[in-house]
Amino acid sequence: MNDIVILVLLCFMGILSVILLSGRGSFLIAGYNTSSKEEKAQYNEKRLCRVVGGGLAVITLIMGIFYYYNFELPAAINWLVPWGIFAAAAIIMILASLVCRKK
């Protein structure tokens, strides 16, 4: 039963990644969809969707690797889950504020 739930979650995250990577789905980005029109005008919406979608795809890949190894990673990549997800989230935030802003 747990395997089915995790596979459904991974598929859902993969679908969301594809939607965001296509440049659509800005309503899925927390904070952006609730900001005012003036704040939204400061960002390139398509680029922001692609940055968040790429980051979500990386997190989905990390979670898929974690599932593949039955949640017991080898010692060589044991750091991947906590630090990989943290690094992906940090890179998403940095790129969203630096690369996605209109000049």
Give residue-wise pLDDT tens across range 4-26.
Answer: 998 999 999 999 999 999 988 88
- Residue 87 clears pLDDT 90, i.e. is over it: yes
Q: What is the mean pLDDT of residues 69-85?
A: 82
- Residue 30 clears pLDDT 70, i.e. is over it: yes
Q: In this structure, what are the phi and psi dihedrals at residue 33, rounded to the nearest 5 degrees?
A: -75, -15
pTM for this predicted structure: 0.86
- Residue 52 clears pLDDT 90, i.e. is over it: yes
* Residue 81 and residue 66 in contact, taking contact as beta carbons nearer than 8 Å: yes
Type of residue at 87 = A
Return the pLDDT at 1.
63
* Residue 14 and residue 60 in contact, taking contact as beta carbons nearer than 8 Å: yes
70 — pLDDT class (breaks 50, 70, 90) = confident
**Structural domain boundaries of the chain?**
2-98
